[in-house]
């Protein structure tokens, strides 16, 4: 009798790679050497911290600055970097560094990990991603040092490196204070550098290279920069700008007279704080305003921004800006009774629209399910619970002071939610899909139904 060969799909490998990194990180963080007081950390808290680091979320059950030793902080930083780039990317980078040839299986893994449509140029793509990431994080750390070294001395160097990596990877974990960046809410350097790192990391690697390509072409010949961009970049950049500015305007209006947030700030400081809040909700998780003190209107705006998140093929989470834009354009096309979904003079494929709908629905299901489960095990108000679950699903990390008060079951719910939110709804759908797709030529008959 022949043994049945078990085939593991690329989606399964991606899921397992993140799970492996989380478990190894949890074991390391549970060791006495990882804690600030030299005592073993409970495995559940270690698992929560490893998950929030690898999934670049930022929700923490204990303050990072006071709970972990230098060794523990190094472990957390490594998990953030692995989570930001992706385990598969790290492995591919090591293979390239060791001059090992990448087979078709490795290339397929990378294609799935980055959600790319082609296998061509993958090795070069990985090299540029890793190199570009390290350069940008290094530049960010240097700018941070101008503030943190004068404030913390030599320790400011480590704080700068940690914060830069965390900001670029959209993790939102810091080792500055227990109130995140609230002490630096009005510091222009911290605000500008952090926002820049969040946006650059979250805009997506594809947009990086496309922008650089268009800049080079515009120098050599008279070409309109925006017109020369790919459709993906146009949608990602436009949607990002609209969401940041619209979000900042809404927060500015709703928090203008709120004395618990920025009611006592000057006009410029209110604009600065509003812009930072709008940017950080794009799955970054740093806070310069106490989230629990936001008005209900601002909190709801932040929920939408968190759910959308950053752009594809980057370090951010959420359903992604391009997904959100595709759903809006599909709605407009439907209202206008147009068969094709169009953007910037181009037609989108039905597969793209279907995938956007699948990602949105799966993310909503994750949020809805985790909200019900968390509501059942905690007596917190509904807004705080939804804020927590959306933050976990979209890997944001902002909380209205609920995370630290969660019980064991509540922590497990958020751990699972963060993991599902990071690996992606589409990867989950593929991983748990049984059997092969029906490739028969025979198709079922069509029948009209009423919708809406």
- Is the predicted pLDDT of residue 201 greater than 60, yes or no? yes
- Is the predicted pLDDT of residue 260 greater than 70, yes or no? yes
Sign of the Cα pseudo-torsion (333, 338, 341, 347, in order)? negative
Question: What are 318-348's pLDDT values in tens digits?
Answer: 899 999 999 999 999 999 988 888 888 889 9
- Is the predicted pLDDT of residue 113 greater than 60, yes or no? no
What's residue 428's pLDDT?
53
What's residue 142's pLDDT?
96
What's residue 224's pLDDT?
75
Distance, in Å, from the CA atom of 396 to the CA atom of 418, rounded to the nearest integer, reads 9
Q: Compare 352 and 371 and report the one with higher pLDDT.
A: 371
- DSSP element (H, E) containing 343: strand 341-343
For residue 219, name the pLDDT band (cuts at 50, 70, 90): confident
- Which residue from 371, 383, 191, 197 is spatially nearest to 287, judged by alpha carbons? 191
Interval 242-270 mean pLDDT: 95
The set of long-range contacts for 247-253, using a CB threshold of 8 Å and a minimum separation of 24, is 247/277, 247/278, 247/281, 247/301, 247/302, 247/305, 248/274, 248/275, 248/277, 248/278, 249/274, 250/297, 250/298, 250/301, 251/277, 251/278, 251/298, 251/301, 251/302
- DSSP element (H, E) containing 346: strand 346-348
Distance, in Å, from the CA atom of 367 to the CA atom of 362, rounded to the nearest integer, reads 9
- Which residue from 170, 426, 207, 428 is spatially nearest to 319, judged by alpha carbons? 426
**Model confidence, pTM:** 0.88
- Is the predicted pLDDT of residue 451 greater than 70, yes or no? no
* Ramachandran bin of 223, using left for φ above 0, alpha for ψ from -120 to 50, beta for the remaining angles: beta
Report whether 374 contacts 387 (CB < 8 A): no
All residues at 6 or more sequence positions from 118 whose CB lies less than 8 Å from its CB, including other chains: 111
What's residue 435's pLDDT?
45
All residues at 6 or more sequence positions from 307 whose CB lies less than 8 Å from its CB, including other chains: 318, 319, 363, 367, 390, 393, 394
Distance, in Å, from the CA atom of 197 to the CA atom of 141, rounded to the nearest integer, reads 10
Question: What are 30-59's pLDDT values in tens digits?
Answer: 999 999 999 999 999 999 999 999 988 889
How many other CB atoms are found less than 10 A from the CB of residue 390?
Answer: 26
**φ, ψ for residue 285, nearest 5 deg:** 95, -5
- The length of the chain, given as a count of residues: 452
**Mean pLDDT taken over the chain:** 85
Interval 370-398 mean pLDDT: 94
């Amino acid at each position: 009798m022949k043994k049945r060969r078990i085939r593991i799909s690329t989606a399964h490998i991606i899921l397992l790679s993140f799970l492996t990194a989380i478990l190894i990180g949890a074991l390391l963080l549970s060791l006495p050497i990882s804690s600030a007081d030299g005592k073993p950390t409970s495995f559940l808290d270690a698992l929560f911290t490893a998950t929030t680091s690898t999934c670049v979320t930022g929700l923490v059950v204990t303050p990072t600055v006071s709970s972990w030793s230098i060794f523990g902080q190094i472990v957390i930083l490594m998990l953030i970097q692995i989570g930001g780039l992706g385990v598969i990317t790290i492995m591919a980078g090591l293979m390239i560094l060791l001059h090992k040839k990448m087979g078709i299986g490795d290339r397929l893994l990378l294609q799935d990990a980055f959600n790319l449509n082609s296998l061509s140029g993958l090795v070069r793509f990985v090299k540029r991603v890793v190199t570009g990431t390290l350069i940008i994080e290094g530049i960010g750390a240097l700018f941070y040092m101008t503030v943190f070294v004068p404030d913390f001395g030599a320790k400011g160097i480590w704080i700068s490196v940690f914060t830069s990596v965390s900001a670029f990877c959209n993790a939102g974990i810091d080792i500055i204070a227990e109130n995140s960046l609230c002490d630096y809410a009005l510091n222009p350097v911290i605000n500008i550098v952090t926002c820049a790192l969040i946006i650059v990391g979250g805009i997506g690697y594809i947009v990086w290279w496309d922008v650089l390509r268009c800049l080079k072409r515009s120098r050599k010949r008279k070409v309109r920069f925006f017109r020369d961009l790919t459709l993906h970049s146009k949608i990602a950049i436009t949607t990002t700008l609209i969401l940041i500015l619209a979000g900042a305007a809404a927060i500015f209006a709703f928090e203008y007279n709120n004395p618990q947030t920025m009611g006592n700030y000057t006009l410029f400081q209110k604009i600065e704080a509003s812009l930072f809040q709008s940017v950080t909700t794009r799955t970054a998780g740093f806070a310069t305003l106490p989230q629990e003190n936001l008005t209900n209107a601002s909190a709801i705006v932040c929920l939408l921004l968190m759910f959308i998140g950053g752009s594809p093929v980057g370090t951010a989470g959420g359903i992604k800006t391009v997904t959100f834009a595709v759903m809006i354009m599909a709605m407009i096309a439907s209202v206008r009774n147009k068969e094709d979904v169009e953007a910037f003079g181009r037609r989108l494929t039905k597969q793209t629209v279907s995938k956007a709908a699948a990602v949105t629905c799966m993310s909503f299901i994750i949020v809805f399910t985790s909200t019900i489960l968390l509501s059942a095990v905690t007596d917190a108000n509904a807004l705080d619970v939804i804020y927590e679950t959306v933050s976990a699903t979209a890997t944001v990390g902002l909380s209205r002071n609920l995370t630290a008060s969660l019980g064991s079951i509540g922590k497990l719910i958020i751990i699972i939610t963060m993991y599902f939110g990071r690996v992606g709804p589409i990867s989950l759908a593929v991983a748990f899909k049984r059997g092969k797709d029906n490739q028969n030529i025979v198709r079922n008959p069509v029948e009209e139904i009423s919708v809406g």
